[in-house]
Amino acid sequence: MKNKVCVVTGANAGLGFETAKALASQGAKVVLLSRSADKGREALDLIHSATGNEALELMTVDLSSQASIREVGHNILQKYGVVDSLVNNAGTWISKFSLTEDGVETMFAVNHLAYVLMSHVLYPGLQKSEDGRIVCVASNSHYQTKLHLDDLNLTHKYHGLRAYAQSKLANIGFVYELHARKTEQNIGAYAISPGLVKTDIGVKHTNFLHALAWKIRRSGGVSPAEGARCQIFCASDPAAKGQSGLYWENAQPRKSSKETHLRERTSNLWDQCLEMCKIDDFFVKV
Ligand SMILES: NC(=O)c1ccc[n+]([C@@H]2O[C@H](COP(=O)([O-])OP(=O)(O)OC[C@H]3O[C@@H](n4cnc5c(N)ncnc54)[C@H](OP(=O)(O)O)[C@@H]3O)[C@@H](O)[C@H]2O)c1
């Protein structure tokens, strides 16, 4: 990974922090994307002192804002030109229904549309890599739901668990569609499950009961360093090269739900997401 350019979203905490640290320890140039400049700076300093890697850069982004994603994506392309690995990792768990400035339900926006839009904006950089990788951190919670294609915002029947699971199912559908539609052999798309990991995702924006349930549930999970292994593998390991269009867990392909393999549904999802992100041509060359 020496001198390869890696972009990690949600790099200030949990799985994203461990991923950025591991890529930095392999000698990559790592762009850490963080919502908060302070938390991002703290993470960068920790990674710097742990790895000695000087090629770390912090950029701030609010992944609930499409304007913010486009801006940071353009800045990355302008500065680095090439992108070797994009790890779409950032995610959130919100109990209460809310809409973003773009009119999208917030969990769908951050957990899924941000993956689609960031991948699109950085695509010209990935095309320039010999081994470009787009890794999308999904979840086994996708087995519990289906896509609500007539109401992706879940305006009629919102529940935090349903919205979270749908966003993670959408991640896998996106990776499969991307794999089926792309023409470049040098770009791989990977969906991964980190398993159950002891992070704060379920306590940041949840109500008392949901936070309590998460604290109990996560006690059976693994550490963020252990949980991040699969996404690090897909983002950097030579053994994952060319193994595009699969769902991974523990660095092994795993069968995803039946719904993720229904092309008419994932294709409908793809079209709706592109429209929501105002993307005319996902694969546009610049
Ligand atoms: N933990 C698990 O058991 C588990 C299981 C399956 C899948 N996952 C997935 O793993 C990924 C990482 O989650 P985690 O468990 O490591 O949680 P985490 O520790 O809460 O990390 C999530 C990261 O996403 C960032 N983020 C959230 N909303 C954002 C926004 N609007 N703009 C920019 N950044 C934003 C967070 O920033 P702040 O620190 O500012 O909030 C944080 O850096 C998520 O996609 C999650 O769905 C986790």
Name every protein residue with a CB atom under 6 angstroms from any ligand 1 atom: 10, 12-16, 35-36, 39, 61-64, 89-92, 110-111, 137, 139, 194, 196-197, 199-201, 204, 221
Residue nearest to atom 39 of ligand 1 (CA): 13
Task: State yes or no: pLDDT of 286 exceeds 80.
Answer: no
Q: What pLDDT digit, counting tens, does each position of 221-235 carry?
A: 999 999 999 999 999
Task: State yes or no: pLDDT of 285 exceeds 80.
Answer: no
Edge to edge, the sheet with strand 56-60 lists 56-60, 29-34, 5-9, 85-88, 132-137, 187-193, 246-249, 252-253
Q: What pLDDT digit, counting tens, does each position of 187-221 carry?
A: 999 999 999 999 999 899 888 999 999 999 999 99
Secondary structure class of 36 (helix, strand, coil): coil
Neighbours of 215 (CB within 10 A): 13
What is the distance between the alpha carbons of residues 179 and 7, in angstroms, rounded to a whole number?
A: 20
Q: What pLDDT digit, counting tens, does each position of 153-200 carry?
A: 999 989 999 999 999 999 999 999 999 999 888 999 999 999 999 999
CA of 89 to the centre of ligand 1 (A): 7
Q: Residue 190 catalytic?
A: no
CA of 160 to the centre of ligand 1 (A): 15
Asked if 8 and 89 touch (Cβ cutoff 8 Å), the reply is yes
Residue nearest to atom 43 of ligand 1 (CA): 10
- AA letter at 46: L
What is the distance between the alpha carbons of residues 23 and 205, in angstroms, rounded to a whole number?
A: 29
Most informative mutation of 32, 116, 199, 204 for ligand 1 (most atoms within 8 A of CB): 199
Mean pLDDT, range 58-86, rounded to an integer: 98
Most informative mutation of 201, 215, 222, 223 for ligand 1 (most atoms within 8 A of CB): 201
Position 67 confidence tier, pLDDT thresholds 50, 70, 90: very high
How remote is the C-alpha of 22 from its chain's centroid? 17
Instruction: Identify the CA nearest to 187 among candidates 272, 84, 103, 267.
Output: 84
- Specify the residue for token string 């339900």: 105
CA of 14 to the centre of ligand 1 (A): 7
Q: What is the pTM of this model?
A: 0.96
Instruction: Select which of 164, 176, 190, 247 is catalytic.
Output: 164
Q: What pLDDT digit, counting tens, does each position of 113-124 carry?
A: 999 999 999 999
Q: Which residue ranges form the domains of the chain, and what is each CATH number?
A: 5-276 (3.40.50.720)
Atom of ligand 1 nearest to the CA of 36: 40
Atom of ligand 1 nearest to the CA of 201: 20
Angle between helices 37-51 and 14-25 (to 10 degrees): 40
pLDDT at 183: 87
CA of 285 to the centre of ligand 1 (A): 30
What is the distance between the alpha carbons of residues 136 and 234, in angstroms, rounded to a whole number?
A: 10
Residues 6+ apart with CB under 8 A from 252: none
Mean pLDDT, range 141-161, rounded to an integer: 95
Q: Report strand pairing: 252-253 vs 246-249.
A: antiparallel
Mean pLDDT, range 135-162, rounded to an integer: 96
CA of 286 to the centre of ligand 1 (A): 30
- At 161, list the tokens: 């668990």
Q: What pLDDT digit, counting tens, does each position of 231-278 carry?
A: 999 999 999 999 999 999 999 999 999 999 999 999 999 999 999 999
- At 187, list the tokens: 């770009």
Mean pLDDT, range 77-92, rounded to an integer: 98
* Strand ranges in the chain using DSSP code E only, listed in sequence order: 5-9, 29-34, 56-60, 85-88, 132-137, 187-193, 246-249, 252-253
What does pLDDT average to over the chain?
96
DSSP-assigned states of every residue in 229-243: HHHHHHHH-GGGTT-
What is the distance between the alpha carbons of residues 56 and 149, in angstroms, rounded to a whole number?
A: 40
- Specify the residue for token string 């002891």: 198
Atom of ligand 1 nearest to the CA of 167: 47
